[in-house]
Amino acid sequence: MKLSGWGRYPVLDCRMERLRDHNLHGMLDRRHTLIARGNGRSYGDAALNPDLTLSMLAMDRMQAFDAETGRLTCEAGVLLADVLDTFVPRGWFPPVVPGTKFVTVGGMIAADVHGKNHHRDGSFGAHVESLTLVTADGKVRECSRSEHVDLFRATIGGMGLTGVILSANFRLKPIETAFVMAETVPTRDLDETMALFEASRDWPYSVAWIDCLARGARLGRSLVSRGTFMACGSLPSRLVREPLCPAPVGRLMVPFDAPSVLLNRASIGLYNALYYRRGQVRGGARPIHFNPFFFPLDRIEAWNRLYGRRGFVQYQCVLPRAKSPAGIAALLERVAATGQGSFLAVLKLLGPAGEGMMSFPMEGYTLALDFPMRNGTLALLDALDEITHRHGGRVYLAKDACCTPERMREGYPRLGAFEAVRAEAAGAPPMFASELSRRLTL
Amino acid sequence: MNGGVETALVIGAMSDIGRAVAHALAEDGYALQLAARDPARLERETRDIRVRTGGAVTVHRCDVLDEDGGVSLLDTLDPLPDVAVCVVGLLGDQAESQQNPDAAERVIRTNYIGPALLMGSLAERFEQRGSGVLVGISSVAGDRGRAANYVYGSAKAGFTAFLSGLRNRLATSGVHVVTVKPGFVRTRMTDGMDLPSWLTAEPEEVAAAVVKAIRRRRDVIYVRGIWRLIMLIIRAVPERMFKWIKWA
């Protein structure tokens, strides 16, 4: 069947099977390779394999929950949305959430996702206590910081290339309410934006939306949003009745592919300007439910169709802290110069790198942009890649669809260690492979 | 009832619809009794339900292909449930059912004889108690025999008629009977079939409809309303014409 990532580029004809129970033996066949796939929210080609793409969505059972410590054990195909629906009403919240709740636990581990609290709490992998992994020999291994340590570190952020994650356990954290006290602060330029990030280190959650069409003196002007979960006592009276409501907000649907002319310089410029004004008007802290705070785009089902049939690519990189001011400015200038714009341009200060050998986050600034796929887009991405590379940064494999092997290798210094562990777990040639690993010659 | 919590029995709990029904009932506050051929395999489901809902779950063995039709299940139930949902079913392969009487018998026993005997035995006990709701998952395939699946369809037709009779007999006894005709459902049974999405329900949709039907004491429900219309039309076509129409 035709399969793609969330960006709908590239599209490949893949054999897809559903794993229905813990027995994988029929699937592990030396004659072909395979990759596990969660809910298909990685953007590029990470969860595609024409030989066999193994859907984990039927592996969605929760296995145990310890109400004392908040430790949840569940199968890899459990959706983050399910975890939220089940545990928010009981006063628990995942330690790290990415920008969408429609991801699986296995996917969050494989991509070692980060959230708005990375500067304080690290990536999702930092909160995983153990995971069970099926390797090429068919053995089920319990991996943790005390058992199969190397395999554990290679699997966190390992993009599914070390085996199939069957289940995992991680700790939820207690919350008193489902509401975040959030404030949005407008900044005038990149320096001010970065200074505000530094000054916001004590806020558990922070992120900036950048107006990527602004140039010159206004380059990097942003709306910095920061927040913290509210205590019961501080809730306004209208929210007190149900402080822990999981509040499924109404969802809008994009029913068909938008004509790609819809996203042009004028419309993106208008959107950016409006968004910026709105942020300025709505200054000051106010309570907001966690859903719109963490998952604003989840309200629009299938928003990826907004980019039309050719799909889009997301570009996310991280630059070391010292090189961030110059590097991020160079990236933004390059984007503004094309006038292509990007609907979403998100900047975030990340904390120190975690233990995952192939994990994306490192201390510095990460910038995420997306572009509709059209003529010239690949050339732009290549130019951005070159800037990232020149500033000692790296791209996020869960979003990437275009990077070259050489640049990727330099961005991930622990790749050698990863490859050694993978060779042992996945065999030679590796049984677990994806279009991404093929493209990057992993 | 035990301490105000009502109990629901799901027979065929390993099926996709059975699992969805079990979850929906647990979320609605029922203590669960799950029955399937291989109770060991239910362990995974019971843990899942316990973690998600914190509700009580017990596991029971029941195989409608046993000599007693699986009725011995009833002796393992304590308490006698307030609600019983039978999700047992087997589509089988029509061509195989035509050529091989054993295969046809298996389809008929799984879809009709077993479920009917079970529902009948439960009905006796519910009637003695004077309360309860019986839910049978039948099929739109039972509304008219079609060339493509009449062995399955006829068994479901028998089950539908049995439930209808049971409902009418028990009308004044305090026991209510619900017949559910789901239409196409995306399950293992239909894996690999090319089904039109507007006619195809998810198991969770069937489960929500079942819970609603129990609450509102409905008699016969089609999960997606469109199926009521479709089956009305299909039933209205004269047999003289019907036999020449090649239904997809």
Q: Do the domain assignments include residue A31? A: no
The tens digit of pLDDT for each residue in B171-197 reads: 999 999 999 999 999 988 888 788 898
Question: Looking at CA atoms only, how far is residue A316 from chain B in angstroms?
Answer: 35
pLDDT given at position B1: 43
- Report the side by side order of strands in the sheet with A53-55: A16-18, A53-55, A35-37
ipTM over 0.85: yes
Minimum CA–CA partner of A16 in chain B: B192
Neighbours of B89 (CB within 10 A): 26
Query: Is residue A17 included in any domain, yes or no?
Result: no
Is residue A283 pLDDT above 70, yes or no?
no
> CB distance A62–B45 less than 8 Å?
no
Average pLDDT, integer, range A152-166: 98
Predicted confidence at residue B247, as pLDDT, reads 62
The CATH number given to whatever domain includes residue A214 is 3.30.70.2520
Residue B132 pLDDT class (50, 70, 90 cuts): very high
Confidence of residue A250 (pLDDT cuts 50, 70, 90): very low
Binary contact (A62, B44; C-beta < 8 A): no
* N-term to C-term CA, chain B: 47
Is residue B120 assigned to a domain? yes
pLDDT band at residue A270 under the 50/70/90 scheme:
low
Share of chain A above pLDDT 90, in %: 72
Q: How many CA atoms lie within 13 A of A377 on its CB side?
A: 18
Answer whether residue A137 shows pLDDT above 80: yes
> Quick check: is A300 in a domain?
yes
* Inside any domain, residue A16: no
pLDDT at A397: 97
Beta-carbon contacts of A349 under 8 Å, excluding residues fewer than 6 positions away, are A119, A194, A197, A198, A206, A364, A365
Q: Tell me which chain A residues have a C-beta less than 8 angstroms from the C-beta of B51.
A: 62-65, 72, 74, 86
Which string of DSSP letters, residue by residue, matches B41-70? HHHHHHHHHHHHH---EEEEE--TTSTTTT
Residue A269 CA to residue A274 CA, distance in Å, equals 8
Query: Using CB atoms and an 8 Å cut-off, which of residues 161-190 of chain B contact chain A?
Result: 188
The pLDDT value given to residue A249: 45
Q: Does B51 touch chain A (CB under 8 A)?
A: yes
- Cβ of residue A260 closer than 8 Å to a chain B Cβ: no
Distance from CA of A21 to the nearest CA of B (A): 10
Q: What is the mean pLDDT of chain A?
A: 90
Mean per-residue pLDDT for B134-163?
Answer: 96
Q: Which residue has the tokens 């289940």?
A: A167
Task: Write down the mean pLDDT value for chain B.
Answer: 93
Q: Is residue B1 part of a domain?
A: no
Does residue A67 sit at the B interface (CB-CB below 8 Å)? no
pLDDT of residue A300: 74
Q: What is the mean pLDDT of residues A340-364?
A: 91
Please report the pLDDT score of residue A263 as a whole number: 52
> CB distance from B47 to chain A under 8 Å?
yes
**Residue of A189 and A236 predicted with greater confidence:** A189
Q: What is the pLDDT of residues A177-216, one digit of tens each?
A: 999 999 999 999 999 999 999 999 999 999 999 988 888 8
A252 has a pLDDT exceeding 50: no
Residues of A in contact with B47 (CB under 8 A): 61-64
Expressed as residue numbers, the domain containing B69 is 7-242
- Give the distance from residue A208's alpha carbon to the nearest chain B alpha carbon, in angstroms: 35
Q: Could you say which of A61, A65, A86 has the minimum Cβ distance to residue B44?
A: A61
Q: Does B52 touch chain A (CB under 8 A)?
A: yes
Greater pLDDT, B86 or A312: B86
- Give A274's pLDDT tier (boundaries 50, 70, 90): low
Do the domain assignments include residue A48? Answer: no
- Confidence bin at A419 (pLDDT 50/70/90): very high
Q: Which domain holds residue A221?
A: 179-403
pLDDT digits (tens, 9 = 90+) for A13-25: 999 999 988 888 7
**Catalytic member of B30, B112, B150, B152:** B152
Q: Is B112 a catalytic residue?
A: no
pLDDT tier at A297, thresholds 50, 70, 90: confident
Q: How many domains does chain A have?
A: 1
User: For residue B125, what is the domain's CATH number?
Assistant: 3.40.50.720
The order of strands in the sheet holding A128-134 is: A62-66, A71-75, A164-171, A128-134, A140-144
Burial of B197 (0-12, 13-18, 19+ CB in 10 A): exposed
Distances (CA, A) of A268 to A185, A208, A298, A375, B133: 21, 17, 20, 18, 57
**pLDDT over 50 (residue A380):** yes
A64 in Cβ contact with B51 (< 8 Å) = yes
Is residue A155, in this structure, part of any structural domain at all?
no
Tell me, yes or no, whether B247 lies in a domain.
no
Q: How many domains does chain B have?
A: 1
List of chain A residues whose C-beta atoms are within 8 Å of the C-beta of residue B48: 61-63
* DSSP-derived 3-state class of residue A300: strand
Confidence band for A30, pLDDT divided at 50, 70 and 90: confident
Q: Does B212 touch chain A (CB under 8 A)?
A: no
How many angstroms from the chain centroid is the CA of residue A348? 12
Residue of A nearest to B45 (CA): A61
Q: A414, A384, A318: which is closest to A119 by C-alpha? A: A318
pLDDT of residue A347 exceeding 90, the answer is yes
